[in-house]
Structure 1
Amino acid sequence: MIYMRDTVNHVDLQELKKILYYYPDLADTDTKIKNVGLCEALIKFTETFNPSKACEALHTQKTRQLFYQAETDFWMAMTVNVPTQQRTRDGQVYIEYLADDVQDHVYKSILKTSYLMFRLFNGTFQRILSKSGNSEMLKEKLSAFYKKYLPILKLSQADLLDVYQGIHFLPLDKYAFLKVQCFVNLLEANFSHIKYTAFLYNDQLVWSGLEQDNMQVLYMYLTLSLIPSFLETEIQGGSVMPSTKVGLGSHYG
């Protein structure tokens, strides 16, 4: 769920208008409004104790709710069901909630990455809102992006690797690496519109002119979505048309 916070008391925004994106969309309107109201109330309440640090998580027996302030007045919230297993005690079967299997820092990292991935291809929420003058274009972009992005997430397999977002580098000898560097330099010299270049062999990075934070986000997109789709189609002997274009450049503020 992504929503825009109402920080000005005299502005009467309807609760439903605050919701920019909600998944699953099949949830009824009352549920959406109730969840947004609960999130906003919780964030405001925790601010009274520590205004400099926003609320990050809410633990209940059955769920874990994570919060991330993506931009000023823009919040993202994700609810994860705590896994369970049946146990027997004194001949009685009961459900045990495995709270230790849900680590806050892991899912908070996934939530943050989902924002960075959107920003890489679309720009910031505030910039889209400022350009359009209303929230409709932002809602459309959020819907178009996350309908494709969320299904590829494997939350059940989330672990510490999602926190550190490691990049696999391809070790090369000096001669091979210099050939790659010369190729990149020639490419950028002949095509002035290219601002940044990343050179990968399969899912291993050889060269990158991007800053590390941006490269980590792009690398995740390539290895989780684009490269697997090419490999699968190549094995089947067909052709693939990427559903998302990769644009490298400082196009967001």
Structure 2
Amino acid sequence: MTTPTSGRRVAVVTGASAGIGAATARTLAAQGFHVVCAARREELVQAVADEIGGTAAVVDVTDADAVAALAAGLDRVDVLVNNAGGARGLEPVAEADVDNWRWMWESNVLGTLLVTRALLPKLIESGDGLIITVTSIAAVEIYDNGSGYTSAKHAQGVLHRTLRSELLGKPVRLTEVAPGMVQTEFSLNRFEGDEERAAKVYEGVTPLVAEDIAEVIGFVADRPSHVDLDLIVVRPRDQVSGAAGSRFNRKG
């Protein structure tokens, strides 16, 4: 893969086939970036890339060879948005599905590690690199039955925060964006396509949408190089924390 950037800044967005990733790709393209849209679903990610005049890269972030090929095909990287990941299942620890845990740790933690490690040299070489890792309020809180996801997101957040310390003095900024409830494919994927169960997650509240988070990411990417927005937690008005019992509807 070669990326025709014409001297433009390059942003790589993982998980760019839908949801927050696709919305972020559109936002960054509107800000003048050439966006490399990376995701597993070829047809969907190609459609997003075609829409914004970007480059599609079919990549499974947990596949080290695929990630290495992505990095090898890029001449420059100015911004990396680690957005790929997700949740599977919602069970108490005593009934944990180990396969679900393994998938969540591989996609959220190891995927972020592989992509960040592969693109880090180019981010440093840019002279003004930016790594934005989309974690979750699950990276700073816990909730019952969510230990597989919350533990993976805690680990992803710690990875990101450790890297920020390790890169102190290098020309790379790091921002963690931790969204609360966002109505995307997230719950549908968590519940293996069960639309009724997924819809219940948002009953009685007005959740965030993907564009809300993309706007925050765009704001971060537009800050001057000396400004580092360290951790940004974004919740809908109707959510206090990740715990189900703390969600409430203010509208009456």
TM over 0.5: no
TM-score range, shorter chain: 0.3 to 0.5
Greater relative contact order (Cα < 8 A, sep 6+): 2
TM-score normalised by L of structure 2: 0.33
